Amino acid sequence: MERRHLAAARATSLATALATALATALALLSPAATATAGVQPLPVGSVAPAFQLPALDGKGAPVSVASLRGKVVLLNFWASWCGPCRKEMPILEQINRQYGKRGVVVVGVNVEPDRSAAIDWLRETPVSFPILSDADSHVSAAYRVEGMPNTVILDRKGNVRYVHRSYVAGTEDEYLDQVRQLIRE
């Protein structure tokens, strides 16, 4: 009897390990990950690549990088399956609310081919800033996104000023320092 429990425990452990490996492989093979594997971030000082993307929920006009000129922009590439993205989203909302009247805008770019999971997650964690859909990851590739989350901060002229590849607690302090600096320029 004990051997059966041991065998069952090993099988469960193996199944869990295989499921984890498969999920990791799928995340690494996502269009955003494979389009730029090993690519350096956008050079600081370069002009932000042009784009026009639809709203994730299909409502409202598409947003282009050109329409954001004159504002400091936090362009955040994210996915609903990304744990750090989920932690970062409320912080981005706070930055948007705190600095929106001072010419700062946060724009979320969801990279999932199927937008339903992102839409469902945003129902639970609503934000006031635009969330766009880059379902085919062409904008993510242009911005050299290599993982989630990825935040590119643009100055009022549309130039890349800062690139953040990931999020850990405390990154928001860097965002705030950089946003405040760009507001003063």
For 130-139, what is each residue's pLDDT tens digit? Answer: 999 999 999 9
Please give the average per-residue pLDDT across 61-83, as a whole number. Answer: 95
Strand partners for 73: 105, 154
Query: pTM, whole model, 2 decimals?
Result: 0.78
**First vs last C-alpha separation in the chain:** 73
Please give the average per-residue pLDDT across 100-123, as a whole number. Answer: 95
Contact criterion met (CB below 8 Å) for 59 and 132: no
Domain residue spans of the chain: 31-184
pLDDT band at residue 38 using 50, 70 and 90 as cut-offs:
low
pLDDT band at residue 37 using 50, 70 and 90 as cut-offs:
low
Q: Which fold has domain 31-184?
A: Glutaredoxin (3.40.30)
Please state at what angle helix 83-99 crosses helix 171-184, rounded to 10 degrees. 30
pLDDT score of 108 more than 50: yes
Compute CA distances 27 → 7, 24, 31, 149, 156, whole Å.
30, 5, 9, 13, 33
